[in-house]
Chain A
Amino acid sequence: MKLFRIRRYDRNYSRRAFLQSVMAGGAGAGVLMPLAHAISQDRELATVYPEELLSIDTYTQGRVSTGDEINADNVEHVKDLLEPAKYIQIREMGRRMRVVPTTTALERLMPIPYLEATLRNSGKARFDQGGNVVSEDGQPWIGGLPFPDAKDGLELFAGLTLSWGRHDVAQYAIKSYDLSAQGEVLYYYELLWVEMATVGRISLEPKPYLPAHIDKLRLQSVYFHAPNSVRGTNYLNIWPYDQNQFPELYGYLPQFKRVRQFPTSQRFEPLVPGSSLYLSDAWAAGDPLHTWGNYKVIWRGPMLAGVSGGWNHVHPNWEHETHGGPAGNTFWNTDVELVPEAIAVQAEPVAFPRAPVSRKVVWFDARTQLPLGMVSYDRRGDPYRTFDGAYALYETEGMSVPHGRNSYWSWGHVHAYDIQTRSMTRLEQVKTLGGGFSTAVDDPSVYDRFLTRSAMTRLGG
């Protein structure tokens, strides 16, 4: 006798719930119960989402199973779980993705200190008259997600803009590959990206603020380590806390042999030859919050995204394998899983009247409010560039990258694809670059090493 399990909440139930949510203007996350409520209780997601949103097998009714590879042959079964560009990449360009189980433990989806701060500070955030997130006493935000039960697109973007990497200090060693439409690696860069929170600090003393920088949001620098033509080039962004102001931008260009200040209002400019990455692209929220506007939730639903398998622990330097495209190297090997609820938010570049983009859509993981993907549209409204990445808890098979008492959580790799020229920029976070530049987290010494003008001079050589 065959036993059937009667599902209480079928696929249409979820769809209805998401549709109602969007029509209501994007109310808080969660299907069976508010996500924020569940988080505050036991952090398990099974009570928030029905089973069909937590299992690809169930969702596709067995057409795609955990462990399967999504490719051109079966992509139609998961088309509604993919951003349009990713769907085309799989169908036409040979992109493949391996499906892994849905992660249900929140502490594996973001840094634990950040999660704890989110819980600790829940309900304490509000916007002040200037549109900046402040805590109950009107001071800058004190850490964690300010709006864990985000009610609209602005609140989602506010949280992302306040903390990109969700660490007080993050130092990413990055290898970047710029590929032509034919799959030829035309440009290769090694760079170090450093971001340090000056407010909303959750791990490092002094917290929640660096007293000397309470008027700022973050210090962020990017240092180009290779090739020789750009070696020593480094930029320092000093972000004011006021999200109506542009950051100050200082640059050390090897030809000038000194630190100079640069205009920063134009944020859609490639920093180095061959790159299609802009300052504006960082974390899908690279500009001050209010230089974009008309934030609007336009879609909710489940999605396939890489939120857990982005660390390649097999490689001693964490470097990733590639596949697909004309030369078999256009895409990172990627693990994806069913994200039960993603929220697509559209925004327009209101402070950039001649920006090459007319709007962007960012898909957030409703559970963590992390960006899962982004697509920008040109001035004609045609899709222009698309981004997707993969996160990971750097802990697997008995190996881990320590971060205090926990394991390191971060991103692993990113695709930035120019739909119109079919050129790809691939980024990966690696353990170390040559010359001793390595990935690190919550290392307060980065301030003196990377985030001052004196440091810029030293890095520039």
Chain B
Amino acid sequence: MKNQSCSKFTHWTALVVGAAIAFPLSAQSWKDIDFSFNGTVRQDAAYRTTSLENPNNARGNPFNGVAVERRGGLPLLTGSQTVFVDESVRAVPTASNDFNLLLTRAEGSMVARMGHNLSLNVDVRGVYDPLVYQDWDPASIGAEMIGALQGKPRYFEYRVSGDDGSLQSRKTPYPLEWTGRDYMIDLPKAYIDLARGPLFIRAGQQQIAWGQSIFFRVLDVPNGLDLRRHLVLDSAFEEFADKRVPSLGIRAGYQAGAWDLDGFVQHFRPTIFPNPNTSYNVIPQQFTVHDLYGNVDKKLNYGFRASGPLGPVNLQVMAAHRYNPDGAFRWTASNVSTNLPINLPNILPVLPGVLPALNDVANTLIPGGVPATGGIIAQTPLEVESSGTSGVLSADEWFTYAGMVRLDGLEALNTLIREFPASQILGAREADDMEEARRLLDLFFQLSNGLRGHIAREYFREDVFGAGLSYVTQGRPGGWLDQVIINLEFQYTPERTFTALDLSTQFDKRSEWMTSLVMEHYHRFFNEFPATYLVFQWLHKSESDLFGRLLGGYSGDVNNTPRGKSGGYDAFVFAAQQPFPRRIWVLNAAVLWDPSGGLLVQPQVTWTPSGSWTVDLFYNHINGGLRGNRNGNALSTLEFAEELALRIGYQF
């Protein structure tokens, strides 16, 4: 019954919207309705300026074409001693893309107003990508994996598990969105506004944003982000304008004197990550994701906020009962029954020369691989992908990627073995240390010639509480301390569910604090130029980083399990906006500094030569290696995306 709550809600929302439309239409003639239409066409391009390909994609894997020594062993028998030595080479040509992004987008907007108190607002957004990229084409190199998203990259399709649990079988489980490999059409807004005095109700497809912080989402909890188009790398001064996931809902606002009351009930929709092997993919493609959104796609989020003056400050308080849109990941059984191929590990120095021939003979004698192993592996989070192109091929690769995604490679292996006992039938045993783990991993990679990992993405309800204080300073006119807007925002979430560092099915639940300090100020440096808009922001999170990853997974690499990060996560933003006279030219600069060694610098120039045309040129410089371990800061994750971005827009 609970799962029907959202469909009832959706029906009810539709009823409200329908009634709101029908009533005035019955009461008035069409000529009493004010219609207005306008639209925008925009070409977006992001030109790559480094040779770094996205390591999360098959064609950007740093192990492509690199000979890696594998030293397999049997920890149960020989501990960390090497028994089998060979060399693996990932036979995937690394791409050399010119563009990260090339999008043509069109947006149309329609507003129909029926008097002062009722309006219908609909936006339609269409995006087309000509796919000029050197794409991953697994069929052409013999790679075979399960999952629609693991094939040729699909840039806009969002797929989740079907009702029967079938992998990636359900496309776009969203109303008001239509997608294909190279296009998407959706309705960012389609709602009815009803107003009566201080009461305001918005019913329909909508986005909701809260809080004063820009980019740091301390109080901005209602909606997830749609990261399919340009990840989070659009103009910083646009924040998440093109990212917030719209959803059906009802929002009500009430102005009680100087206090603004705001609440919503909204269909839960998750953050959408880019698909495997697309330009901005952030989940290594060696993982196959079972998105279990279908289990919660009938759920609702609720939130309430009050803001108003309290003496010399403005106060806002909020609470939300929501599903965390980011979800959390865990190992899950692959249900892929592919036998281990008959690959004889190299056990004698004399064998390397004759090993391929021996393997061929063995495969001929026993076609279909090692009997019965497929059924066992299907009960583990592993999938045999023996082409050597899309799975993990070595312990080095395993630990390298574990560090990149801020997981603990050793414990992830042990948890896999512990929580999926079928793996022990194949001889897997928990490793005491990294060396033992390397032997075991290399052995299995030698035997399989490539294993993929299956993870499930689940969504958990949480209660989020927040508060914010806003204060405006008064100082000497024109001085640095005059008219500084200071905002302090807090978020507390008890028992938030995180992805465990070992990808355990038990997840990691812990309470998290989040704090941001925002200071904004206009300062005139020049008489001839408008004032410069300056922003300083500080973010502190007690448990996770900017992208919601637990800090315990920080600083792992190919040779080390993660050392973690103590003292919480901090990030700072410095941003400035300098309009030229008449605002035809605007220079922007935004710097996101992770003091643990990451830096994102985005200089931007915006040119508005006329009311119809707008040109934006900006550069994303990302450095994740300022100091310390590259995996010891959040921004190294995006290092591959250094680019020059150009947007040309025309509106009508």
A associates with B: yes
Distance of A270 Cα from B472 Cα, bound (Å): 22
A204 to chain B, nearest CB (A): 15
Of the candidate stretches A56-64, A147-155, A221-229, A339-347, the one touching chain B is A221-229
Q: Mark A210-229, 1 if CB is under 8 A from B, else 0.
A: 00100000000000011111
Question: Do B209 and A258 touch across chains, with their CB atoms under 8 A apart?
Answer: yes
Is A263 within 8 A of B522, CB to CB? yes
Contact A272 B260 (CB under 8 A): no
Does A273 sit within 8 A of B, measured CB to CB? yes
Are the CB atoms of B253 and A457 closer together than 8 Å?
yes
- With known contacts A352-B478, A436-B116, A273–B255 Cβ distance under 8 A: no
Which A residues are CB-close (under 8 A) to B581? 270, 276, 421
Residue A246, interface by CB 8 Å? yes
Tally of A-B Cβ pairs under 8 angstroms:
190
CB distance from A226 to the nearest CB of B (A): 7
B66 contacts A by Cβ under 8 Å: no
Q: Which residues of B contact A455 (CB under 8 A)?
A: 200, 255
CB of A378 to closest CB in B, whole Å:
8
- Which residues of A in the span 410-461 have a Cβ within 8 Å of any Cβ on B? 421, 423, 434-436, 445, 448-449, 452-455, 457-458, 461
Contacts of A245 in B (CB 8 A): 474
CB atoms of A273 and B582 under 8 A apart: yes
Question: How far, in whole Å, are A461 and B121 apart by their CA atoms in the complex?
Answer: 8
Contact pattern, A 239-251, Cβ under 8 Å of B = 1, otherwise 0: 0000001101000
B38 lies within 8 A of A254 (CB): no
CB distance from B590 to the nearest CB of A (A): 13
Residues of B with C-beta under 8 A to A256: 209, 214, 239, 241
Contact between chains at B520 and A453 (CB < 8 Å): no
Given A257-B207, A266-B530, A269-B530: A229 and B583 within 8 A (CB)? no
Give chain A residues whose Cβ lies under 8 Å from the Cβ of B257.
212
Instruction: Evaluate whether A449 and B195 lie within 8 angstroms (CB atoms) in the complex, with A266-B531, A435-B113 already known.
Output: yes
List chain B residues, Cβ under 8 A from A49: none
Say whether B338 faces chain A, with CB atoms less than 8 Å apart. Answer: no
What is the CB-to-nearest-CB distance from A408 to chain B, in angstroms, rounded to a whole number? 19
The reply to whether B472 and A248 form a contact with Cβ atoms under 8 Å apart is yes
Cβ of A255 under 8 Å from chain B? yes
CB distance from B616 to the nearest CB of A (A): 11
B-contacting residues, A320-340, CB 8 Å: none
Q: Is B470 an interface residue (CB 8 A)?
A: yes
Minimum C-beta distance from A262 to chain B (A): 7
Interface string of B173-214 (1 = CB under 8 A from A): 000000000000000010001010110101000011111101
A188 vs B609: C-alpha distance when bound (angstroms): 12
Q: How far is the CA of A271 from the CA of B531 in the complex (A)?
A: 12
Contact bitstring B85-116, A, C-beta under 8 A = 1, else 0: 00000000000000000000001010101111
CA distance A161 to B68 in the complex (A): 77
A265 contacts which of B482, B487, B584 (Cβ < 8 Å)?
B482
The residue on B at minimum CB distance from A358 is: B527
Contact B116 A445 (CB under 8 A): yes
Q: How far is the CA of A231 from the CA of B260 in the complex (A)?
A: 23
Q: A262-B485, A269-B531 are in contact. Are A449 and B116 (CB under 8 A)?
A: yes
Q: Could you give, for residues 401-443 of chain B, a 1 whenever the CB lies within 8 Å of some chain A CB and a 0 otherwise?
A: 0000000000000000000000000000000000000000000
Query: With A273-B608, A274-B582, A457-B253 in contact, do A258 and B113 touch (Cβ < 8 Å)?
Result: no
Q: Is residue A264 within 8 Å, beta carbon to beta carbon, of the partner chain?
A: yes
> Smallest distance from the beta carbon of B225 to chain A beta carbons, Å?
12
Interface flags for A133-152 (1: CB within 8 Å of B; 0: not) read 00000000000000000000
Classify chain A: how many residues form its interface, as a range.
35 or more
Q: Please tell me which one of the listed residues A212, A231, A254, A265 contacts residue B522 in the complex, with CB atoms under 8 A apart.
A: A265
Q: Is A275 an interface residue (CB 8 A)?
A: yes
Kindly state whether residue A16 has any CB partner on chain B within 8 Å. Answer: no
Asked if A448 and B34 make an inter-chain contact with CB atoms under 8 angstroms apart, the answer reads no
- Asked if B483 CB lies within 8 Å of chain A CBs, one says yes
Q: Quick check: A227 and B611 within 8 Å, CB to CB?
A: yes
Q: With both chains docked as a complex, state the minimum distance between the C-beta of A148 and any C-beta of chain B, in angstroms.
A: 32
Residues of chain A contacted by B237 (CB below 8 angstroms): 255
Any B CB within 8 A of the CB of A356: yes
Interchain CA distance A248-B521 in the complex, whole Å: 13
**Interface presence of B49 (CB below 8 A):** no
Question: A323: shortest Cβ distance to chain B, in Å?
Answer: 22
Decide: A434 and B36 in contact? CB cutoff 8 A: yes
B484 within 8 A of A: yes
Min CB distance B5 to A, Å, is 26
Q: Given the complex, which residues of B lie within 8 Å of A246, measured CB to CB?
A: 483
Given contacts A453-B260, A454-B262, contact A266 B241 (CB under 8 A): no
Q: Does B647 contact A (CB under 8 A)?
A: no
Mark B618-648 against chain A: 1 for CB-CB distance below 8 A, else 0. 0000000000000000000000000000000
B140 within 8 A of A: no
A273: contacting residue among B34, B239, B583, CB under 8 A = B583
Contacts of B121 in A (CB 8 A): 461
Give the one of A212, A226, A350, A356 with max B CB within 10 A.
A356
Chain A: which residue is nearest B189 at the CB level?
A: A461
Q: Is B164 interfacial (CB-CB < 8 Å)?
A: no
The verdict on A448 contacting B478 (CB below 8 Å), with A227-B651, A356-B528 known, is no
Query: CA–CA, A423 to B253, complex, Å?
Result: 42
The residue on A at minimum CB distance from B614 is A229
Interface presence of A268 (CB below 8 A):
yes
Give the docked Cα–Cα distance between A186 and B470 (Å): 38
Tell me, in angstroms, the Cα distance from A265 to B477 when the chains sit together.
8
Cβ–Cβ contact A269 & B40, under 8 A: no
Partner of A263, one of B40, B521, B614: B521
B651–A228 touching, CB < 8 Å: yes
Contacts A228-B38, A228-B40, A273-B582 given; does A258 touch B211 at CB 8 Å? yes
A354 at the interface (CB under 8 A from B): yes
Given the complex, which residues of B lie within 8 Å of A130, measured CB to CB? none
User: Of all chain B residues, which has the CB nearest A271?
Assistant: B583
Q: Are A448's CB and B198's CB within 8 A?
A: yes
Bound Cα distance A235, B610 (Å): 23
Chain A residues whose CB sits within 8 angstroms of the CB of B478 once the complex forms:
265, 351-354
With both chains docked as a complex, state the minimum distance between the C-beta of A336 and any C-beta of chain B, in angstroms: 28
Residues of A contacting B531 in the complex (Cβ-Cβ under 8 angstroms): 266, 268-269
Known A256-B239, A266-B530, A269-B531; judge A231-B109 contact (CB<8 A).
yes
- Tell me the complex Cα distance, A276–B584, Å: 10
Residues of B within 8 A of A350 (CB): 477
Contact with B along A345-367 (1 / 0, CB 8 A): 00000111111100000000000
Q: How far is the CA of A226 from the CA of B40 in the complex (A)?
A: 12
B524 within 8 A of A: yes
Query: Beyond A226-B38, A228-B109, is A276–B239 a contact (Cβ under 8 Å)?
Result: no
CB-CB contacts below 8 Å: B504-540 with A = 520-528, 530-531, 533
Residue among A260, A263, A352 with the highest chain B CB neighbour number at 10 A: A263
Q: In the complex, which residues of chain B have a beta carbon less than 8 angstroms from the beta carbon of A260?
A: 212
A-B pairs with beta carbons under 8 Å apart, 28 shown: A212-B258, A226-B38, A228-B109, A231-B38, A245-B474, A255-B241, A257-B244, A258-B211, A262-B520, A265-B522, A268-B530, A270-B581, A270-B583, A274-B611, A276-B581, A276-B582, A291-B477, A351-B477, A354-B526, A354-B527, A379-B528, A421-B582, A423-B582, A434-B36, A435-B36, A454-B255, A454-B260, A458-B202
Beyond the given pairs A268-B531, A449-B116, 4 more chain A to chain B contacts, judged by CB atoms under 8 angstroms and listed by A's residue number, are A185-B611, A265-B522, A276-B582, A453-B260
Identify the 6 closest CB pairs spanning chains A and B, nearest first.
A436-B113, A354-B524, A255-B241, A353-B478, A266-B531, A273-B608
